[in-house]
Structure 1
Amino acid sequence: MTQSPATPLPPPKERRRLRETASLTQAQLAARLGVSRQTVRAWESGRTAPRGAKGEAYSKMLADFAERSKVTPEVTTEVTPPQTPGSVTPVSLAKEVVVAVPQAQATPSSPGVSAPAPALTPAQAFDALYAFCAPALVRQAYLLTGRRELARESVERAFQLAWQRWPEVARDRDPAGWVRAAAYEYALSPWHRFRPRYRHPEPPPAAPADRVLLDVMLSLPSSYRRTLLLHDGVGLGLPETAAETEASTPAAAGRLLHARQAVAARLPDLADPAELHRRLTGLASAERLRAPKPPVVRSGSERRARFWTRAAIAFTVAIIGATALTLRTAPTQYEPPVPPGEAVQGVPPRSAPGPLSEEELSLKAKLRSETAHGPERLVPRAE
């Protein structure tokens, strides 16, 4: 199948998939076309559209990739298979996946057109996304927090939330980015410091160089640490990093600059971003960080959803019961309060005790000074 320059280009995600099918990186494709890597990234993200001679060459190259893979550019294929466990590549921190179903149906009787791949079920699509992204996300969360258990828990919670909102995540332009943002938010939550098991530090990495690098990373503010990891560790561009950190591009650039300066102040050999990327990848890959299986994450998400649903129902029932009890025990008629007292004519008001007058004081003293044996007093006598 050939494609003329007048033929519309495939969607941005399909362009990236065709490049990955040909086992080419963005830098290799840019070298073939004679453009920069940022230009290829902009074409694949949909920010810009290829034009002119470069666009014609790009469309022809995509058509060649589609012909080699026996798939038309209008049909998206299954999820890219996950990397084998234990393997480490320089871009292991930058894995992403696009979960899609066939967008065009081809009849089996059509000549020269292969049958489309069967659509994935929601559970299969989720398991594929998890298997592809979870190992790299656990390593990234470890670089953010320095805690192995918290890194695993952050990724598990993020995927549990993704399974609860799977219709929304499945239609997202970047499902891996959605889950990554959720994992980062949970990992960097300040409430973890109040948990008893997170009050004590975990054992540091075995290599002294890795310990120093991790200590430098953890000494940075959380926003600087996240920006540095996304840009120099994962490999996102500055606009994508700013969008994921919910900051403006100048603010993200400032955070990245200050983070690099802080790292270079303690580790001068990491002033080069390429060397920093290599060291971050090596540090994350040196730890044995394993995530639970996808069915375990899905079942945990479903249990959590059932728990909160039942808790909401129980709380609602308690409110209804308390309201009904209040209505049942409340008085049915108005009872006026007791009115204040009124003065009655002819009856002197009762006075409160006060200080004694001079006459009362002299009489009191006289009574206390007299003895009980005088004739003025009558004393009972026992007979």
Structure 2
Amino acid sequence: MTRSPQTPLPGPKERRRLREAKSLTQAEVATKVGVTRETVRSWESGRTTPRGRKRETYAKLLTEPASSEAGVTTRQEQSAPALVGAATGPGGYAAGSPRPAPLPGTAPGPLPADGLTPAQAFDALYAFCAPALVRQTYLLTGRRELARESVERAFQQAWHNWPEVAMDRDPAGWVRATAHEYALSPWHRLRPRHRQPEPPPADAADRALLDALLTLPPVHRRTLLLYDGVGLDLPETAAETEASTPAAANRLLHARESLATRLPDLAVPDVLHRRLAELASTERLRAAKPRTVRWGGERRAERWTRAAIAFTVLLIGATTLTLRTAPDHYEAPLAPGETVHGLPPRSAPGPLSDEQLRLRAKLKSETVNGPERLVPDDR
């Protein structure tokens, strides 16, 4: 009995690329093929391979051209306002409801890397991510200047560690995580210019949404924005926020409940996704030029290097001076004086007695040279 040849299937990396090119989540592929989302993830990672009819359905889903309806949906999504960040992949919607498609600027695109210098590759990554990251960081902090500064510092750190960032599987995620951590740092409260509030958005609905976001704890705010705004799935959100998947799910639920309590219209995830995009797009936030960011990062690194060298020289000079002026041998310290107890007190001089007076008179009456010389008797 001969076995029929299996349906040709692309490699694991190509499977994921084809899925993302069709704007499909892992959950949507799992529903169409009839498997679980974890199975689709194992197919894309190469741990397992589909067989039989599931293999045929999966290969047809990945390789068949997109329909006209899908093209209309894509054009509708592109007409929506761009939100923030560059996600590694849309991922699945883990709450049991359909995941809203990531808005333009959130899905990753292939960045050209062949034949580019490190500066050109950095500029391409900056142009791809910086405008969206500034808007995203503004939603996290509610401050325009802090949003720009956070993105610039994140890209400066990326340029300082460019070999590591260039080899990372998701360079945009690396920069996004760095910008979020800098923006949500509690040390900004001590800065004088951050103690005064900035002008709120002009629209009343936007002001209400921004105020509701800023009332959330920072970790809940970040989880909500990554999941409902950027389009990461729950495991990726948990990994970026350095939490477990159940903890990230709890944070997301609490954040949604808090927003729904203050703004009941945002109880639906699709509406929340759209309102976050609208709030981010209304603010005219511009990022600096990539060359300026690179130059600023290099200048900052140069200043820190000079400060470290100056501190090292000062420390060496202080150590040398101490070695020269310090005593080179041990001198025992003098013991402190001690009070002697138990002795009778000294008596004060008083009047002389009769016997002492007679003795004094006798001594005074004798010659100063003493008695006369005694002559020996010859007898």
TM-score, normalisation: structure 2: 0.71
- 1:275-319 CA-partner distances (Å, limit 9, x unpaired): 100000010011001111111111111111111111111111111
Structure 1, 27-36 or 241-250: larger mean CA deviation: 27-36
**Aligned: 1:88 with 2:62:** no
Deviation at 1:64, TM superposition (A): 7.2
CA distance in 2, matches of 1:223, 1:211: 21
CA separation of 1:271/1:46 partners in 2, compared to 1, >3 Å: closer, same or farther?
A: same
- 1:175-230 CA-partner distances (Å, limit 9, x unpaired): 11111111100010111111111101111111111110000000001111011101
* Equivalent residue for 2:23, pick from 22, 25, 37: 25
Output the aligned Cα RMSD: 3.7
- 1:96-135 CA-partner distances (Å, limit 9, x unpaired): 355574xxxxxxxxxxxxxxxx432211111111111111
Deviation at 1:88, TM superposition (A): 3.4
Report the residue type matching 2:316 in the other structure. I
* Equivalent residue for 1:210, pick from 203, 206, 222: 206
Which residue in the other structure is 1:10 paired with? 11
The answer to whether the 8 A contact 1:92-1:281 is kept is: no
Deviation at 1:50, TM superposition (A): 5.0
Which residue in the other structure is 1:262 paired with? 258
Q: Which SS does the other structure have where 2:116 is aligned?
A: coil
* Equivalent residue for 1:317, pick from 313, 319, 326: 313
Which residue in the other structure is 1:140 paired with? 136
CA distance in 1, matches of 2:44, 2:197: 40
CA distance in 1, matches of 2:12, 2:37: 18
CA separation of 1:87/1:48 partners in 2, compared to 1, >3 Å: closer, same or farther?
A: farther
Which residue in the other structure is 1:42 paired with? 41
Deviation at 1:27, TM superposition (A): 5.3
The answer to whether the 8 A contact 1:233-1:281 is kept is: yes
Structure 2: gaps spanning 5 or more residues: 66-77, 84-101, 351-379
* Equivalent residue for 1:235, pick from 203, 206, 231: 231
CA separation of 1:350/1:28 partners in 2, compared to 1, >3 Å: closer, same or farther?
A: closer
* Equivalent residue for 2:177, pick from 152, 168, 181: 181
Structure 1, 162-171 or 334-343: larger mean CA deviation: 334-343
CA separation of 1:275/1:177 partners in 2, compared to 1, >3 Å: closer, same or farther?
A: same
The answer to whether the 8 A contact 2:220-2:251 is kept is: yes
* Equivalent residue for 1:273, pick from 252, 256, 269: 269
CA distance in 2, matches of 1:283, 1:121: 36
CA distance in 2, matches of 1:45, 1:220: 36
Identity of aligned residues (%): 63
CA separation of 1:191/1:162 partners in 2, compared to 1, >3 Å: closer, same or farther?
A: same
Structure 1: gaps spanning 5 or more residues: 66-83, 102-117, 352-356, 360-383
CA separation of 1:161/1:152 partners in 2, compared to 1, >3 Å: closer, same or farther?
A: same
Spell out structure 1 runs of 4+ moving beyond 6 A: 348-351
CA distance in 2, matches of 1:32, 1:269: 31
Report the residue type matching 2:124 in the other structure. A
**Aligned: 1:221 with 2:220:** no
Deviation at 1:92, TM superposition (A): 3.6
CA distance in 1, matches of 2:204, 2:280: 14
Point out the structure with max Rg over C-alpha: 2
Question: Higher relative contact order at CA 8 Å, sep ≥6: structure 1 or structure 2?
Answer: 2
CA separation of 1:100/1:48 partners in 2, compared to 1, >3 Å: closer, same or farther?
A: farther
CA distance in 2, matches of 1:238, 1:225: 14
CA separation of 1:261/1:93 partners in 2, compared to 1, >3 Å: closer, same or farther?
A: farther
**Aligned: 1:245 with 2:241:** yes
CA distance in 1, matches of 2:244, 2:315: 45
Task: Figure out how many residues of one structure are paired with residues of the other and give that number.
Answer: 310
CA distance in 2, matches of 1:266, 1:336: 76
CA separation of 1:175/1:40 partners in 2, compared to 1, >3 Å: closer, same or farther?
A: farther
The answer to whether the 8 A contact 2:27-2:37 is kept is: no
The answer to whether the 8 A contact 2:133-2:151 is kept is: yes
